[in-house]
Amino acid sequence: MDELTLLGASRTPVPTSPDDAVLETFANTHPGRDYVIRFDCPEFTALCPLTGQPDFGQITIEYVADARCIESKALKIYLFSFRNHGSFHEEVTNRILEDIVAACAPRRAKVIGNFRPRGGIAIHVTAEYEAPIS
């Protein structure tokens, strides 16, 4: 657990961009078993890259860990980093999946972005990953 720097920190600055955020991980204590880890972020916020207006949504992350697990406080701070970042919904959802895969190399992962209507249209994006069979 020595590698975790955000958990237990009394003050943690929020990065202004996901490029500056760190997804910390810890060792999976049950790597021989498939089990689903699910995170829900019902208050996700990002900015429209063209208008700068806020977009609100819910991000759900489900994954089956291999050797590493995502630490939840680091994930929270990472997701907060989108608040001042301009991205389309499709980009946000796929970016989160790519960053999760890069951080912990899961066996499988899925990110679901359910974005609130703006202009009368709600957008729902699902991105999935499955590790290649070795």
* Residue 41 · residue 78 · CB < 8 Å: no
For residue 11, pLDDT over 80 is answered with no
One-letter-per-residue 3-state SS of 64-129: ECCCEEECHHHHHHHHHHHHHCECCHHHHHHHHHHHHHHHHCCCEEEEEEEEEEECCEEEEEEEEE
Residue 120 lies in domain: 21-28+35-130
DSSP letter at 52 equals -
Query: Looking at 2, 19, 40, 55, which residue is catalytic?
Result: 55
Domain count, the chain: 1
- Does residue 12 lie in a domain region? no
- What's the pLDDT band for 8 if we cut at 50, 70, 90? low
30-73 pLDDT per residue, tens: 999 999 999 999 999 999 999 999 999 999 999 999 999 999 99
- Does residue 106 lie in a domain region? yes
- Does residue 100 lie in a domain region? yes
96-114 pLDDT per residue, tens: 999 999 999 999 999 999 9
Residue 10, pLDDT score = 62
Q: For a pLDDT cut of 70, what percent of the chain falls above it?
A: 90
- Does residue 78 lie in a domain region? yes
- Does residue 2 lie in a domain region? no
- Does residue 11 lie in a domain region? no
Q: Is 48 a known active-site residue?
A: yes
State pTM to two decimals.
Answer: 0.90
Q: Is 66 a known active-site residue?
A: no
User: At 94, which CATH number?
Assistant: 3.30.1130.10
Query: Looking at 34, 40, 48, 104, which residue is catalytic?
Result: 48
74-104 pLDDT per residue, tens: 999 999 999 989 999 999 999 999 999 999 9
Read out DSSP for 1-23? Answer: -TT--STT-S--PPPSSGGG---
